[in-house]
Amino acid sequence: MPTIREVARKAGVSSATVSHVANNTRFVSEDVRERVKTAMRELNYRPNALARSLRRGETHTLGLILPDSSNPFFAEVGHAIESEAFALGYSVILCNTDNDENKERIYTEVLENKQLDGIIFVGAGENRESISQIVKNGLPLVVVDREMGNLELDTVTTENYQGGLLATQHLISLGHKVIGCITGPSNITPSADRVTGYRAALQQAGIPIEESLIARGDFHASSGYSAALQLLAHDPRPTAIFVCNDIMAIGALRAAAQLSLSVPENVAIVGFDDIELASYTTPPLTTVAQPKQEIGQLAVKLIFERMGNPSLPPRRIILSTQLVIRESSTRS
């Protein structure tokens, strides 16, 4: 790679003049500017974009920390974030933590060392250590899909409680009284809030809550499959199951098929997220839709505003969820 000194020598100017031409930081006569550009072309010289960005105090790069990039919900939110940032002239570095808080901590340190302009963060759990370190170091931060207690941060979340309530009320309206629930991990608020919504809907309808009808999952398809087999062996067998994400609901559909149970005739199933695959399952999955595109766009909007004005008060945006009725709960 040719150096700035070699360009200066070939153009017959100083290294400082080459820098001013490359960065457009000072007036240079047209004749000298053309000589420098000609020397750059002939030597195939490319200015060091990273060094130039650091001198200006910006890299036009954001970090994105996701807990599970193989989960279609996070993949779709991540795609929305990347697309929005790219349209605004920013690149995105993706780090997948595999729901491992130690890996999350290491990636947080790596991103901070790369002098990024900001980080959009979806935590593996609700461990505040990594986030507190980012905030302490003054790096702009937006948290997505997680509640961080009393930490005053920019956040974008959805109405998880309302979604769980809507899903269960829908099943109750169809006449179901024995309704199972497959939860997600207990250490994150979205899962807990969805289950709270499920419990509230049963209470409002005067239906007793049976703890044996609540099975633990981990937001992966295999856990939805195993939890559904557990619930479908319950006596009495549930006639409907609310599942706290779509990937687990797909596992539950597989379990029903294995037991030769027809969906929705023998057991209705409702998921949560409305991932793209939800409309292509057999039967198509009724689910609670989260506005994934809007989540991504708002996360980028907040990080840009925070980068532009670090003194802004923390913003907390909670987006509505919507029930999308398909054939897994009722025939169209």
Q: 3-state SS of 54-68?
A: HHHCCCCEEEEEECC
β partners of residue 155: 143, 316
Residues 241 and 192 in one domain: yes
pLDDT of 184 above 60: yes
- Mean pLDDT for 179-192 is 90
Lowest mean pLDDT among 3-12, 146-155, 174-183, 210-219: 146-155
Report yes or no on 328 lying in a domain. no
Report residue 48's pLDDT band, with 50, 70 and 90 as the boundaries.
low
Residues 27 and 95 in one domain: no
Residues 210 and 154 in one domain: no
- Mean pLDDT for 78-82 is 95
| Cα 103 to Cα 319: distance, rounded to the nearest angstrom | 29
209 Cβ contact partners less than 8 Å away, ≥ 6 residues apart: 199, 202, 203
- Mean pLDDT for 259-267 is 97
Residues 283 and 297 in one domain: no
Report yes or no on 94 lying in a domain. yes
Report yes or no on 54 lying in a domain. no
β partners of residue 180: 241
- Mean pLDDT for 318-326 is 97
Q: What is the CATH number of the domain that holds 39?
A: 1.10.260.40
| Residues 7 and 40: beta-carbon distance below 8 Å | yes
Residues 133 and 35 in one domain: no
Q: What is the CATH number of the domain that holds 261?
A: 3.40.50.2300
Residues 136 and 166 in one domain: no
Report yes or no on 97 lying in a domain. yes
Domain count along the chain: 3
Residues 164 and 152 in one domain: no
Report residue 50's pLDDT band, with 50, 70 and 90 as the boundaries.
very low
Lowest mean pLDDT among 119-133, 190-204, 256-270, 286-300: 119-133
pLDDT of 328 above 70: yes
Quote the strand ranges of the chain, DSSP E. Answer: 61-66, 91-96, 118-121, 141-144, 154-158, 179-183, 214-216, 240-243, 268-273, 286-289, 316-319, 322-324
Domain with 36, as residue range(s), is 4-47
Count CA atoms within 13 Å of residue 192 on its CB side.
9
For residues 279 and 50, which has the higher predicted lDDT (pLDDT)?
Answer: 279
Report yes or no on 326 lying in a domain. no
- Mean pLDDT for 299-304 is 94
Residues 165 and 279 in one domain: yes
Residues 166 and 264 in one domain: yes
252 Cβ contact partners less than 8 Å away, ≥ 6 residues apart: 182, 224, 225, 227, 228, 241, 243, 269
Residues 297 and 309 in one domain: yes
- Mean pLDDT for 288-310 is 94
Report yes or no on 27 lying in a domain. yes
- pLDDT > 70: what percent of the chain? 94
Check residue 219 and give its pLDDT.
Answer: 94
Report yes or no on 99 lying in a domain. yes
**Sheet arrangement for strand 179-183:** 214-216, 179-183, 240-243, 268-273, 286-289, 322-324
| Residues 191 and 185: beta-carbon distance below 8 Å | yes
Report yes or no on 53 lying in a domain. no
- Return mean pLDDT, the chain: 90
Q: Are strands 118-121 and 141-144 parallel, antiparallel or unpaired?
A: parallel
- pLDDT > 90: what percent of the chain? 67
Residues 115 and 176 in one domain: no
Residues 70 and 110 in one domain: yes
